[in-house]
Amino acid sequence: MDSNSIVNELNSLVKTCKDGEYGFQSCAEHAISRALRELFSCRSADCRRSAAELQAMVRQFGCEPEDSGTTFGTARRQWITFRSAVFNYDDMAILEECKRGEEAALARYRSLLSDTLPGSVLEVVLRQYEGARRNHEHLCSLCNRNRQMANRH
3-state secondary structure 42-62: HHHHHHHHHHHHHHHHHHHCC
Question: Within 10 A of 24 (CB to CB), how many other CB atoms are there?
Answer: 25
* Domain limits, the chain: 3-152
Q: Over 90: is that where the pLDDT of 93 sits? A: no
Residue-wise pLDDT tens digits, 4-14:
999 999 999 99
Q: pLDDT tier at 80 (50, 70, 90 boundaries)?
A: low
Residue 116: in which H helix or E strand, if any? none
pLDDT at position 87, please?
A: 54
Q: Over 70: is that where the pLDDT of 29 sits? A: yes
Q: Given 3-state DSSP classes, what are the helix, strand and coil percentages for the chain, each rounded to the nearest 5? A: 85, 0, 15
How would CATH label the architecture of 3-152? Answer: Up-down Bundle (1.20)
pLDDT at position 126, please?
A: 96
Quote the DSSP letter at residue 33: S
One-letter identity of residue 82: F
CA separation, residue 106 to residues 65, 91, 125, 153 (Å)? 21, 22, 11, 33
